[in-house]
Amino acid sequence: MKGYYQSPIGWIEVIGSEKGISGVSFTDAAEKESDCHPYIERCIQELDDYFKGEKPFFTVPIDGNGTVFQQKVWSEVNCIPFGQTASYSKIADKIGSPQASRAVGMANGKNKLGILIPCHRVIGKNSSLTGYAWETWRKQWLLNHEKKMLGERNHLNIAKRNSELKS
């Protein structure tokens, strides 16, 4: 099952199974017709909410496959807070393999659930934007988008809190 979503930074192909979403990636594919399936439709809606700045997280079930090491990496990548980044070496430390920065990068590159498992939040030790399967400019755009959304959310939360304090 496949679905397509036109994001501000290109078409995204969503692949699903009976268990959940198994692939989210940017595509140049000419085919843009989506299959009707609840997981595909839900993922497309959540992507739309994400790109509109309305929802900073995803709840659609995922059907991810990978080695034990890749699963550890992806689980840790999923813990990087929205709007923040972590280095490959920090991820390696967190999973108990401090010498495995390159292996973390390779596992990150095998992530088939881009954006849902936010591999774009993983950066080089010196804050460089390295290693993104769908081009570095998209990685930069996604990071900027999240920082902007985070700033707007913080502003709204502060304004809401201030109005509550005045009441």
Give the tens place of pLDDT for each residue, 3-52. 999 999 999 999 999 999 999 999 987 677 878 899 999 999 999 999 99
Is the pLDDT at 158 greater than 50, yes or no? no
Q: What are phi and psi of 54, to 5 degrees?
A: -95, -20
pLDDT in the model for residue 167: 52
Is the pLDDT at 161 greater than 50, yes or no? no
Q: Which residues are catalytic?
A: 119
Average pLDDT in the 82-88 region? 95
Q: Are 67 and 103 in contact (CB under 8 A)?
A: no
Instruction: Give CA–CA dist 75/122, Å, rounded.
Output: 13
Q: What is the pLDDT of residues 102-130, one digit of tens each?
A: 999 999 999 999 999 999 999 998 998 88
Domain with CATH 3.30.160.70 in the chain: 2-52
Instruction: Give CA–CA dist 167/132, Å, rounded.
Output: 48
Average pLDDT in the 86-108 region? 97
Q: Can you spell out the DSSP letters for 80-130?
A: SPTT--EEHHHHHHHTT-TT-HHHHHHHHHT-SBBTTB-GGGEE-TTS---
Paired tokens of 5: 């979503």
| CATH number of this structure's domain 68-142 | 1.10.10.10
**The model's pTM:** 0.86
The whole-chain average pLDDT of the chain stands at: 90
DSSP 8-state symbol, 62: B
**Single-letter residue type at 145:** H
Domain with CATH 1.10.10.10 in the chain: 68-142
pLDDT band at 153 (very low <50, low <70, confident <90, very high): low
| CATH number of this structure's domain 2-52 | 3.30.160.70
Residue whose tokens read 């939040």: 121
